[in-house]
A and B are shown apart, each in its own frame.
Chain A
């Protein structure tokens, strides 16, 4: 991740970390479900399940998201992203 990456790069480079401020206010369950199911570790996890187990997990996820949106109107999701600049100052 961002901070650990900066530490690893600092062994070879002069490093600075810069953060981008953003928050998602999600009102559409389908898009969030699609996003979550697309993530590599979750996609891989689903591939280990049979069709019925997969549907059960997916339906449960959708139900939780639907419920959260219906209660609050939206799911607010803080992002934590940015970039590392690693400058070559040593040969």
Chain B
């Protein structure tokens, strides 16, 4: 798995165009919230799935505006020690603003997933929600995740699959959705290994 040079993992582009602040994420989230037919949000569903793992030292990489924590604020165990991180300083400020009052004991850090300044075997859980495809060198990041996790601990990472919102690709490429027969690959929102 060689380091990616795709626009999807181009850090200067992402910082300038996508994640300097939360406006792009909020815009996308608005689509899901307005028109999703599942009344449960992905973050709530995921929490239910991994509830037994949400304890001890937690590192979140790519916290964005802190959505996962806002969605699950009523379920975060009191003993959790969480460090929420992002490569965007602007995003950390957003996360702090949105969650500080509700979860005052959580920490924040600007860091890159390829070089995490935490001790080996120190983390009980790593969260990486819709962000791994932005990492230029995924192999290096996976090694870091493995290094800092305690034995038996887990990384939980949300992402989109290859069939995610295929109609968007069709519409952009110029196909009207007549029966949605002609399919092209979807543009990359938050796949896992795109690029």
Instruction: Pick 25 A–B contacts, CB within 8 A, sort by A.
Output: A1-B161, A1-B162, A1-B193, A3-B192, A22-B32, A25-B35, A28-B35, A31-B35, A35-B30, A41-B187, A43-B18, A47-B17, A64-B171, A77-B167, A77-B168, A79-B164, A80-B161, A82-B158, A83-B156, A83-B158, A84-B157, A85-B50, A87-B154, A88-B149, A89-B151
A1-B159, A83-B49 given; A8·B42 CB < 8 A: no
Q: Number of residue pairs across A and B with beta carbons under 8 Å?
A: 197
Chain A, 55-83, contact with B by CB distance < 8 Å: what is the 0/1 string? 00000110011011000100111111111
Chain B, 118-161, contact with A by CB distance < 8 Å: what is the 0/1 string? 00000000000100110000110011011001111111111111
What's the tally of chain A residues with a CB closer than 8 Å to chain B? 58
Of B6-14, B71-79, B103-111, which binds chain A? B6-14
Would you call A81 and B18 a contact (CB within 8 A)? no
Cβ of B176 within 8 Å of any chain A Cβ, yes or no, is yes
- Least Cβ–Cβ distance between A32 and chain B, in angstroms: 7
Would you call A88 and B46 a contact (CB within 8 A)? no
Interface residues of A, Cβ cutoff 8 Å to B: 1-6, 8-9, 11-13, 18-28, 31-32, 34-36, 38-44, 47, 60-61, 64-65, 67-68, 72, 75-89, 91
